[in-house]
Structures are given as structure tokens and as C-alpha cells.
Amino acid sequence: MTQPKTPGELRYPSIFSPLKIGNITVRNRLMQTAHAKGFASAEGLTNDRDIHYQAERAKGGIGLIVTGARHTHPASTGPNRSLARGNRQEMIERDAEMVNAVHAFGARIIAQLIHFGPQGRSGALDDYRVQWGPSTMKSPAYNEWAKEMTKAEMDEVSEHFALTALNAKAAGFDGVELHYSHGYLHQQFLSFVYNKRTDEYGGSLDNIVRFPIETMQRVRDAVGPDFVVGIRVSLDECTVDGMHADTAIQMTRKMVETGLIDYVSATAGTYAAHADQIPPGDYPENWLVDDGARLRASLREVSDIPVFIVGHIVDPEKAEALVASGATDMVAMTRTQIADPEFCNKLREGREDEINHCIRCNQACIARLMAGNAISCVVNPAAGREQRFGLHTLKPAETPGNWLVVGGGPAGMKAALTLRQRGHLVTLVEKDDRLGGLLNLAARLPRRHKFGFIPRDLERQLRKAGVEIRLNCAMSADDVVAFGADGVLLATGSTPLKTAFTSTRPAVDRVPGTEQDNVLSVVEALEDPARVGKRVVLFDEDGGRYALGTAEYLLDRGHQVHLVSRFIALAPNLALTLDLPVNYQHVFRKGLQYTLNSWVRSIDGKRAQLLNLFTDENGESLEADTFIIAAGHSPHDALYRALQGRVQNLHCIGDARLPRPLQDTLYEGMLAGRELLDDPNRFIEQGELEGFGADWRTAMGAPVG
Ligand code: SF4
């Protein structure tokens, strides 16, 4: 009997239609592309953490998952030891477990195969390995040189791709994807920028596709005709004089014309344009889809294989339109899946108001990876920690009670929602007229409006779940006592510091002159821009968007801004979140002046005396109408201290406990909502999630079979 269509299937009929790829059928048109996760494995084997991570998203309704890239050859090193080694025989058993887990929840899974080529580190493993590339050239990734490969080495790589593809087939994967993008080995062969060869593998379009086609041929010969083989290509190198879509389309068409592959997945960027691989929120939405549509139209002239596209596609309406119009066959929404593994189910079931949207911050996914940690997510603290905090782990409270949460910032909202989801009655009070706290200010900064998604999404869910929300409600200690809750969470936020304290000069508690009326905190400047004079000097002890975004916000309003940074580079923290290049472009074009390695010795009227942090000698003397301090916050915990001993089951969370990055406070909100703040087992011990042999089937409630 035909099942009636769900609200999502009616609203998004193209997205929720199946797609045939080679000999497999995928249940819908939403996919998760390959991405590194940093789930440590010294052995290079798929571990329980990765299995639970992927299974969670399969359970959440995604159609197609492509695994993180797995090495195919010993000379492929990567940045560290976290990547899987698909060429190891022991991998088959471990990967079979991942495949079973994903299949158990109805999704398809394809293994991505890679040779890192010049984008690895010679010393990433326990020895030193020569990096291989099409030509002898320096890599933008780790500033190392790669040697030009011989023909024998190229044959060896193709053979290892074939052997690794056979391993993937033995493990039960639905196919393999050959990584021909993002500046890795094969993409460099496909690039006139990196491929300087004068033999039959360089110099012309026919020549640059030769080695990638040889690898495709070896893989196809190994796996046979009834196993999906796809390629991922860069449509645009996004570098000056690099390859753009016209050339990329011609080149891809030549590879497709061989008839060796079953799909093309299009992306962009190389390591010389790293941000274009994983664009921060500063990039426009759907920025690659026009080129993707041109690619598909061109390939349609020679083949009917499907084409997949990525590129900051976040809106389901847009995704539906792209599939319906034939611009693409599948839409990749990867960070969307990290942020909410149930995205697809919620969409299909008409529960869009329960979706936690990715805010494109790159703070807990990419930045953690770049720092050598496992990925997680700001808006989804369970990401990467599914064994501890996945959907199946949220259990009803043993003794449902009546909770009071004071403070409607991110920590308070997250805690209130989690408490409610576990069956408690919850009242959330907020002294202001809206929820969100400092997020509302963060969302005012240039190109940061998506930070407003967090309070919007959480408020929708809080109201839907039945949390009582009281706005414009400041509570005293007596009010809290009189409320008589079974448990109280205080998430009362923080107070911005205006002392110009810097950790580089810890003996100076307060810089003279910072008590003047023309010295403002970032919060004061954003809340009341009318207080900011024409000429501004902004002191940056933050190193991120808090300071640089405020500078640009003021530049946009006609102020002259001189940023004085205690760091050795302008906003250095943006390197990890990949939004440094695009923000540099904006502030440089808008005329930002800046001084590095410096701090303020004193402020006197409209003059600030700078000092060099390395020599302690006086530097410039800057004149301004307003001085703005971006130097952190102190906990606003007066209510917590006033309630000590007066209320049972009292906790202080979020910035009120200690001002920290957003991902820390939302994680703590989740812990508080699960009543784990004081649990002796609340810490995830090193390696705890990355073992082998955990019973995901029972834990996650997989269907039997
Ligand atoms: Fe999106 Fe930020 Fe989560 Fe990354 S950390 S998935 S960018 S919300």
C-alpha cells in the first residue's frame, strides 16, 4: 500500500525523490560530502566515534554520505595521524561496521579515496616521507616542497587506488569517490598552475587529464562495472590566474566521456584558497551553483550521469529549486548535517521549526580540526560525541520537577530546552525584552546575521516544547527563593571589561585613563553607536571577530578606525575559522588603520600613548574621539553569590560562571539540561570515544536485520 506523502515530501517533491547512481538508488537528494573529523586513530582505522557520527546522520534521514577521505598509498600523509588508511587490509572489517550502521538506517555510503600529494606533511607519521606532486613545487598547505613524480610512481598510485577501492567494495560500501579536488594530488595534475610537466601528462587539456583517467581506469578494472565510481572536482581554484569554471568544465567533460565513472561531485578551492573549500558565513549563499549548473548542462551532452553541487546552500527552498530545475541532481549540505543530524527527517516530517541551523561560524568544526582536535559544532554540542550525547542518549528525568532558569542567553536557552525535553517543567526568565543575550549584538556585526539563528531556533523550540518564557523579568535573590523551584540555573551572563587589561602585561590591572567617559567597551559601542565619535582607536586583546567585526561595523558607519592589537598579526584567530582572507579584504578596502605588537600605556583626554610589547618602549601617540576596549568580560554572578545557601540544587552556568567562547557555553547548557554538571563522569576521557567494537546497534536502536 502506498504511504501518504509527508508534509515535507509534498513541499519539497524534488528533494524527496529517489536518485539512481550507477547500480544504487539513494532515497533523497540530500547528501553529506566527505569531511575530515579528526577522530584520532593511531592505527588509521575506522573507529566507534566515526561509526556513531555517520550512523546518527543516516538515522536522521540523509540520503547519501561520503566518508572522510582515506589514504590509498603510504606516500599520502595528510596533516597528522587522524586520517583513515583505506589501503590497510584491517580496514575492511572496521569499515564494514560503518557501512552496516549507515545501511541499517536506510542511507547510502560511499568511501572517498585520496592521495594527499603535496598537501601532506613529510613528518606527519612516525618517519619522514617525500611528498609527491605533478611538478617540483612548494605546497601552500604546510610550506613544504613536493617532488615531481615519475611514471612508475604514478602507476603505483593508480594501483593503490584500485586496491583501496577493492577494500571498500569488500567492506560493503555503495561505491568509491576519487578525490580530484581541493589541491590534492590528482587535482594538481588537473591544474595548469601546479602541473608544469613537459611530458604527456602536462601542457594541454588532453595531457592533464591523462593521469586521473589512468587512475579511474585502474579502479574500474578492479571493481568491475557494477560498483559506483565517482569523482570530486574543483570547479574553480579561486586563486589569481588559477583555473576557473570554463576550463574545469572542459576538463571534467573529458573525464566523463571515458564512460568510466558514475557521478561527478563539484566543489571549489585549493589549499591556496582554503576558505573556498569550506566557506565561512561571509560568502554569499549558493555561490557555486551557477557554475555547477553549467557543468551539469555540459555533461548532459555526453552522458546522463548525475552531478552533485555544494557551495553554501542552506535554504531547502533553494535546494528544491536547484533539483527541480535540473541545475543539479543532489545538493550537498554538510555543515547543515553537522549542526543538526536530524535535518532531513525534520524537513520531511514538516518539523522545520525544530531545525538547529548552521551559522557558518567554522568555530567548532573547522577551527577545532585545524587545532588538531576532533570536530564538533557550536549549535550541536553532541556532534562528534554521539556515543555520549547523541539522540539516543537523551533520557527522561528520573524525577521530573519544576526548574527555574534565570538568563535567556545561549547557555540558559540551551539548558532550559534540554531540561524540558527530559520532562521537567521549566520557566525561563530574561531581564531584557528578547532572548539571545550577547548573540543579538554579535548578529549586528558585518556578515554575522546568522548568529541570530541560534536564539531564533532555540526560542521556537522552547515555545513549542512548552517552556514558560518571561521577558522583561529581572529577578532578585528573594524572587528566586520565593519561586520555590526544585532546581535553579543561573545564566546571568557577563560584564564587559574596560580596564584594558592584557594578558601580555599581567601586572597592570588597569591602564590609566580607561575610566574616562570617552572609553567604551565593545558592547557599549554596539548597543549605543551614537556614543562613538568620528575618530576611533580600538584596542584588541581578542584577536577575532569581536574586535575586527566591531572595527568594520564602525568603518561602515563612516568612522575612522585605528585598531591597536596586542597580537603579532591582525585578528590571528580568524586563520583557524578560515574567515581571515575575506575579512582582511573588507577592512583593508574600507581603510582600517592598525598597529600590531602594541598596547596602550595610558589614555589622557583624546590621546592614547602606545607601547611596543616586546621592547616596552613608547610607540605612537594616537588621537581619537573615542577609545574602545575589546578585552573580554567578567562573570556577572552576583545573583549566584547572593543565593548561596538559600536555594537547593543551585547552579551557575555560561558566561556567569566564566566567560568563554560560544561553543563552550552551549556545551555547558546541554550538560546542565542533562543534570550532569556535577556528575563525576562528566569528563570525556582521552580516547574514550575512539575504541573499537561498541554495540551501536543496540545503543542507537537500529532496526533488526
Ligand atoms: Fe556550522 Fe558553526 Fe556548527 Fe561548523 S561549528 S557546523 S560552521 S554551526
Same domain for 288 and 426, yes or no, is: no
Q: State in Å: Cα 335 to ligand 1 middle.
A: 6
Q: Is 666 in the pocket of ligand 1 (CB under 6 A)?
A: no
pLDDT of residue 81: 79
Q: Kindly state whether residue 688 falls inside one of the protein's structural domains.
A: no
Residues 24 and 122 in one domain: yes
Q: Name 652's Cβ contacts closer than 8 Å, sequence gap at least 6.
A: 489, 490, 491, 492, 635, 637, 640
Rounded Cα–Cα distance for residues 348 and 16 (Å): 8
* Statement to judge: residues 19 and 136 lie in one domain: yes
- CB-ligand 1 contact for 367 (6 Å cutoff): no
Whether residue 211 is found in the same domain as residue 148: yes
User: Would residue 293 count as lying in a domain?
Assistant: yes
Question: Of 581, 608, 631, which closes a domain?
Answer: 631
Q: Rounded CA gap, 320 and 313, in Å?
A: 11
Question: Residue 312 Cα, ligand 1 centroid: separation in angstroms?
Answer: 12
How far, in Å, from the CA of 270 to the mean position of ligand 1?
21
Helix boundaries (H) for 257-409 = 274-277, 289-300, 316-324, 334-339, 343-348, 366-370, 386-389
The answer to whether 522 and 630 are in contact (CB under 8 A) is: yes
Cα of 171 to ligand 1 centre, how many Å?
Answer: 31
Q: Where are the beta strands (DSSP E) in 624-705?
A: 626-630, 633-635, 650-652
User: Are 330 and 308 a contacting pair, CB within 8 Å?
Assistant: yes
Final residue of a structural domain among 389, 415, 440? 389
Pick the last residue of a domain from 631, 664, 691: 631
- Same domain membership, residue 476 and residue 366: no
The helix (run of H) or strand (run of E) holding residue 415 is helix 410-421
pLDDT for the residue 66: 98
DSSP 8-state code for residue 64: E
What is the whole-number distance in angstroms between the Cα of residue 383 and the centre of ligand 1? 10
Nearest to 218 by CA among 207, 205, 229: 229
Looking at the structure of the chain, the number of domains it has is: 3
Structural domain including 405 reads: 396-495+635-673
Query: Residue 347 and residue 353: Cα distance in Å, rounded?
Result: 9
- d(CA 291, CA 468) in angstroms, rounded, equals 48
Query: Do residue 456 and residue 532 come from a single domain?
Result: no
* Angle formed by the axes of helices 545-556 and 580-589, nearest 10°: 30
**Per-residue cell: 553:** 561595523
The answer to whether the beta carbons of residues 121 and 144 sit under 8 Å apart is yes
Q: Which CATH number goes with the domain that contains 543?
A: 3.50.50.60
Whether residue 108 is contained in a domain is answered as yes
Residue 689 lies in a domain: no
Q: Which atom of ligand 1 is nearest to the CA of 366?
A: 4
Looking at the structure, do residues 543 and 605 belong to the same domain, yes or no?
yes
543 in the same domain as 408: no
Q: What is the 3-state secondary structure (H, E, C) of 577-626?
A: HCCHHHHHHHHHHCCCEEECCEEEEEEECCEEEEEECCCCCEEEEEECCE
pLDDT digits (tens, 9 = 90+) for 513-560: 999 999 999 999 999 999 999 999 999 999 999 999 999 999 999 999
Which residue among 282, 310, 361 is best mutated to probe the pocket of ligand 1, counting the most ligand atoms within 8 A of its Cβ? 361
Decide if 604 is inside a domain. Answer: yes
Locate 98 and state its grid cell. 560503518
Pocket lining: 115 vs ligand 1, CB cutoff 6 Å = no
**Type of residue numbered 277:** Q
CA 319, CA 322: separation in Å to the nearest integer? 5
Contact 683, 398 (CB under 8 A): no
Among all chains, which residue has been given the C-alpha cell 560498483?
Answer: 227
* Separation of alpha carbons 109 and 168, rounded Å: 10
* Run of H or E residues at 540: strand 535-540
Low-confidence residues in the chain, pLDDT < 50: none
Say whether 481 sits in a helix, a strand or coil: helix
Spacing, Cα 381 to ligand 1 middle (Å) = 10
Which of the 8 DSSP states describes residue 12?
Answer: -
In this structure, are 80 and 225 located in the same domain? yes
Burial class from Cβ neighbours inside 10 Å (0-12, 13-18, 19+) for residue 175 reads: buried
Q: What are phi and psi of 462, to 5 degrees?
A: -60, -45
Q: Which three cell numbers stand for residue 641?
A: 553569590
**Nearest CA, atom 6, ligand 1:** 335
Q: For residue 107, how many other CB atoms are within 10 A of its CB?
A: 27
Q: How far is the CA of 152 from the centre of ligand 1 (A)?
A: 42
- Quick check: CB of 361 below 6 Å from ligand 1? yes
Q: Does 462 share its domain with 332?
A: no
Phi/psi at 436 (5° precision): 125, -25
Total Cβ atoms within 10 A of residue 87? 21
Tell whether ligand 1 has an atom less than 6 A from the beta carbon of residue 360.
yes
Give nearest CA residue, ligand 1 atom 3: 377
Using a 10 angstrom Cβ sphere, with 0-12 exposed, 13-18 middle and 19 or more buried, the burial of residue 66 is buried
Q: Which CATH number covers residue 662?
A: 3.40.50.720
How far does residue 191's CA lie from ligand 1's centre (Å)?
Answer: 30
Residues 237 and 382 in one domain: yes
User: Is 547 close to ligand 1, i.e. is its CB under 6 Å away?
Assistant: no
What is the predicted pLDDT for the residue at 1?
67
Query: From the alpha carbon of 359, which atom of ligand 1 is closest?
Result: 8
| Contact call for residues 260 and 220 (beta carbons, < 8 A) | yes
